[in-house]
Amino acid sequence: MIEKNWQTTKPTIRERSKHMFNNDLFSDVKFVVRGGRNGESESKQVIPAHKFVLSISSPVFEAMFYGELAETTDSIELPDCEYDSLLELFRYMYSDEVILSGSSVMGVLYLAKKYMVPSLADKCTEYLQENLDPSNVFSILPSAQKYEEKNLVDRCWKVIDKHTEEAVKSDGFATIEKSLLEAVVVRNTLSIKEVNLFKAVNLWAANACERQGLTTDGEIKRRILGESIVKGIRFPVMKQDEFANVVIDSKILTPEEVFAFFKYYSSALKSPLEFSESLRSGFHDDNIYRCGRFQYVSGNGWGYGSGVADRIDFTVDKDIMLHGLCLFGSENNDYSVSLTIKETSSHLAGTFSSEVLQHANGNYYGFEILFDSTVECKKNTKYEIEALISGPMSWVGSGGLSAVVCSGVTFTFTDIANITHTNGTSVRSGQFPEILFSVQP
């Protein structure tokens, strides 16, 4: 029953428009969409609407109802959307409100893109970002890529990088497209033991075999995966028992490759392997230690306008492997860095995003830089760290110590000989808060 004089109780246009939502009153078009499922047949539901309201909210609906090829029927069937998703699209058009849930948000995002309602698309991506976690990241990322939502895509990759172990165990990972699987496997910034990444890839291949009705043997799994994915696994960084107990049983590698790996483990291999021998930069092995050289860290006190590199010298009293180091940054900022370890000629350049890092004397904003290959540093040999940094003011360390003992290794820091050739970093203050290393066996 229609309430008499209902307009008098709703003083604003927003209230009156909201009253018309999903209401047959004055409706001049109806949408027929998929609803729930009754047995084996799919039910259909009807949503009444008003051409004028839809048209002032969407250029697509404007063309549909008032364009040269306007619809003349008053009933439109939409086979590509669910009832709940279309209802939320209309709710937003009538009231600027939307009720999102994990089960409906992807459908609403699809409709917001299809009918060109960018403000609603923004609300959907904000909802997804706020509710993003390792359990759903592989369900969200494909849609974010499809709809070219760059910020959401970037956020997904950050979750994958930081929580790789959890993410690849999620239900969504088991059904991702092969192209996305390849993008994951070749990514250097994952934080996962290589053997666990291989287990996830092997399970993905087994599931793909089952979906295609194929036998799940090693040769077929390898054919489904393709050489780019198989060669993207860094088998050489696995421990020998991991390789023997997990990789060999999968039968994905050829007998010749398995034989080459056993020669590699016994140091008898003469020719190089076709697989990367470097740890992924996001993975920190239990045997990688952090040497912090500052007693205090504080915010936004170090600048980079001079175009001169920050530099510091160090020596160690034991042979070590240098995996990388940490640099100071600032909240939500990126830095361009050209990093060199002199005496070894190791060089790395790139752009890095700041995040909160843990330090023995307080958290700080900064970023880790790990070398593609570890750098061997001999005892009692002087090495110079040089970093040419471009970016906004960063955090800074103070109260630096000239000698620091970390995990049984003594690091001795010294200022470079000519202080005019540095941005200001010294033993006492400046950049290079932590060194990441392991001890030579």
HSE at residue 309, side-chain half, CA atoms within 13 A, is 14
Query: Is pLDDT at 355 greater than 80 in this prediction?
Result: no
Q: What is the pLDDT of residue 407?
A: 86
How is residue 186 written in tokens?
Answer: 């070749």
Q: What is the pLDDT of residue 42?
A: 64
Query: Is pLDDT at 152 greater than 80 in this prediction?
Result: yes
Q: What is the pLDDT of residue 37?
A: 43
Q: How confident is the model at residue 284 (pLDDT cuts 50, 70, 90)?
A: low
HSE at residue 409, side-chain half, CA atoms within 13 A, is 29
Q: What is the pLDDT of residue 217?
A: 93
Which tens digit of pLDDT belongs to each residue from 309-333? 999 999 999 999 898 899 999 988 8
Sheet containing 403-406, strands listed edge to edge, beginning at the edge strand earlier in sequence: 346-353, 334-342, 383-390, 310-316, 409-414, 403-406
**6 or 287: whose pLDDT is higher?**
6
Q: How confident is the model at residue 36 (pLDDT cuts 50, 70, 90)?
A: low
Query: Is pLDDT at 439 greater than 90 in this prediction?
Result: no
Please give the single-letter amino acid code of residue 406.
C
Q: What is the mean pLDDT of residues 34-50?
A: 73
Q: What is the pLDDT of residue 38?
A: 41
Is the pTM higher than 0.85? Answer: no
**How big is the chain, counted in residues?**
441
HEC per residue, the chain: CCCCCHHHHCCCHHHHHHHHCCCCCCCCEEEEEEEEEECCEEEEEEEEECHHHHHCCCHHHHHHHHCCCCCCCCEEEEEEEEHHHHHHHHHHHHHCCCCCCCCCHHHHHHHHHHCCCHHHHHHHHHHHHHCCCCCCHHHHHHHHHHCCCHHHHHHHHHHHHHCHHHHCCCHHHHHCCHHHHHHHHCCCCCCCCHHHHHHHHHHHHHHHHHHCCCCCCHHHHHHHHCHHHHHHCCHHHCCHHHHHHHHHHHCCCCHHHHHHHHHHHCCCCCCCCCCCCCCCCCCCCCCCEEEECCCEEEEEEECCCCCCCEEEEEEECCCEEEEEEEEECCCCCEEEEEEEEECCCEEEEEEEECEEECCCCCCEEEEEEEEEEEEEECCCCCEEEEEEEECCCEEEEECCCCEEEECCEEEEEECCCCHHHCCCCCCCCECCCEEEEEECC
CA 254 centroid distance within chain: 32
In order of their start, the domains of the chain are 6-130 (3.30.710.10), 144-265 (no CATH), 289-439 (2.60.120.820)
Among 4-18, 160-174, 241-255, 369-383, the least confident range: 369-383
Q: What is the pLDDT of residue 345?
A: 65
Query: Is pLDDT at 285 greater than 70 in this prediction?
Result: no
**18 or 278: whose pLDDT is higher?**
18
Which tens digit of pLDDT belongs to each residue from 211-224? 999 999 999 999 99
Nearest to 423 by CA among 338, 332, 324: 338
Which tens digit of pLDDT belongs to each residue from 120-145? 999 999 999 999 999 999 999 999 99
Query: Is pLDDT at 266 greater than 90 in this prediction?
Result: no
Q: What is the pLDDT of residue 441?
A: 65
Q: What is the pLDDT of residue 41?
A: 45
Q: How confident is the model at residue 40 (pLDDT cuts 50, 70, 90)?
A: very low
- Could you give the CA distance from residue 437 to residue 324 in angstroms, rounded to a whole number? 7
Which tens digit of pLDDT belongs to each residue from 419-432? 667 899 999 999 99
Place of tokens 């949408």: 31
CA 160 centroid distance within chain: 4
Q: Quick one: CA dihedral 134, 136, 141, 147, positive or negative?
A: negative
8 Å CB contact between 122 and 116: no
Query: Is pLDDT at 1 greater than 70 in this prediction?
Result: no
